[in-house]
Amino acid sequence: MSELFATRDGTALNVDQGGEGKPFVFQHGLCGNAGQTREAFPNGSGYRRITVEARGHGSSQSGPLDRLSIATFADDVAEYIEKHLPAPVVLGGISMGAAISLRLAIKRPELVKALVIARPAWVVHSAPENMQPNGEVGRLLNETSAEQARELFMNGETGRKLSEVAPDNLASLMGFFSRLPLEVTSALLSAIAADGPDVTEDEVRSIQIPALVIGHQRDFIHPLASAKTIAAAIPGARFVEITPKVESRERYVSDFHTAITDFLKDMNHG
């Protein structure tokens, strides 16, 4: 089920929902959509998955391109929760969605009662080195044709490196060269690669709600070390390492489902 939600500045965002129960707002990654969260979310969890597709993602409008940022996306999610859900809610996300969720748990704690950080690309600092490949794709799309940009990236140092150390990351990045509209894709990749959750280490350590952090190996853009760092910083956080997608997508999804299911079960019985 999906519905449109109009933000304060009039940008129409698609809100995708599935399952039944208490609300669990679950946000996708950069240049992803609700299909990503739909796959990773367990059925029969007793929670209703709600994904607010970020500006320029899925079926949502992009709005002004100069407003594309993690802070804007977080504000949009906060506005949706305030208007449509009984706060506080369980909040989580994958990659960029994890950064959005971390920011909201700190900046708007009254809206969040539990937190799921999956495959984080950021800890606290903006423009981490692991986001450089996304920024490079954005820059190339802005400078030349999609076909030439794809060739330059694939044959360049970054593309060759990722083919060896993180082929799943490379596969995702190669898909961005045909992601329409290219102007929005370029703007998203450039802006978000240079962005961050804009929180401090002390603020992360101040989080006082149940938290689950999920990570896996063989992922350059979402380093396992970042997941471990966040898990160690949040008091009492649970850390779960799952099977990398590049090894087995089936086990990756199964592990993801189990991690969330166990966390929600223990949280409800705690």
pLDDT digits (tens, 9 = 90+) for 39-48: 999 999 999 9
Distance CA 31, CA 49 (A): 19
Domain boundaries, the chain: 2-126+196-269, 130-190
Q: Is 43 exposed, middle or buried (0-12, 13-18, 19+ CB in 10 A)?
A: exposed
- Whether the CB-CB separation of 210 and 267 falls below 8 Å is answered with yes
Determine the average pLDDT of the residues in 189-200: 98
Q: Is the pLDDT of residue 268 over 90?
A: no
> Tens digit of pLDDT for each residue in 198-214?
999 999 999 999 999 99
Backbone φ and ψ for 3, nearest 5 degrees, come out as -145, 160
pLDDT reported for residue 185 = 98
Q: Was domain 2-126+196-269 assigned CATH 3.40.50.1820?
A: yes
186 three-class SS: helix
On the question of pLDDT at 180 being above 60, the answer is: yes
